[in-house]
Amino acid sequence: MNKLHKVYNEFNTETELLNLIEKQDHQISFDTPLRPDAFELDDETKIELITKEFTSIMNILGLDLTDDSLKDTPTRVAKMYVKEIFSGLNPANKPDITLFKNKYSYNQMLVEKNIAVYSNCEHHFVPIVGKAHVAYISNGTVIGLSKLNRLVQYCSQRPQVQERLTVQIANELKEALGTEDVAIVIDANHHCVSSRGVKDTGSSTITAEYCGKFLEAGFKEEFLKHIAQ
């Protein structure tokens, strides 16, 4: 028996096998691209190394690092990268999720809209700024509302593309709640479009991820109606 037959025999149907492959491909495709050794250096070492490299960049640009306004900029940038705007790269910074039993048997969708999104484009390392709208339907537990904001923040604090960010938030929420019934819409402005290149300050980008019941027209329409109000 070859390896393919052994794998196939573990599943009842070809559909189950294809669903697993699709699920694995989906997860892999939307992981942030990281090297295997991404977390071998501690934060302080990363800050020290980035400070040196950013000093070189500023020197190449011809900036006077003896000026009191500029002399500490490399360290400030390094700390900002590691401790703030790219802190979501490290799984150790994933927020603890507080869940509660759904004792009141609330079985409608819960929607939290206008969650602030502050991320950075991985192509140019300039800001992506916008709003996320998040919804889920409880399967027996409910999440502390502030944890929705923290999940959005955690996924945002890494170099991103908006499509991946949207799916990562959905995946984190599904994992935390143990349900497929989640929906995410993000509406954001990209500074790589507004501050450089075409310099279009009037456009925004909308992405969405609908899962479980939100793939059904009725649930999707209700969600979109809520966030449009």
Classified by CATH at the fold level, domain 92-228 comes out as GTP Cyclohydrolase I, domain 2 (3.30.1130)
Which residues are tagged catalytic? 121-124, 162, 190, 192
Dihedral Cα 145, 148, 149, 150, nearest 10 deg: 110
Question: Shortest CA distance to 183 belongs to which of 171, 196, 194, 200?
Answer: 171
Query: How high is the mean pLDDT in each 10-residue block of the chain (229 residues)?
Result: 46 54 57 95 98 98 98 98 98 95 94 98 98 97 96 98 98 96 98 96 97 98 97
CATH of the domain spanning 43-85: 1.10.286.10
User: Residue 15: its pLDDT value, please?
Assistant: 57
pLDDT for 30: 85
Query: pLDDT (tens digit, 9 = 90+) per residue, 146-161?
Result: 999 999 999 999 999 9
pLDDT at 3: 44
Within 10 A of 108 (CB to CB), how many other CB atoms are there?
9
Range(s) within the chain of domains with CATH label 1.10.286.10: 43-85
Query: What is the C-alpha to C-alpha distance for residues 133 and 227, in angstroms, rounded to an integer?
Result: 7
pLDDT for 74: 98
Return residue ranges of the chain for CATH 3.30.1130.10.
92-228
Residue type, 213: K
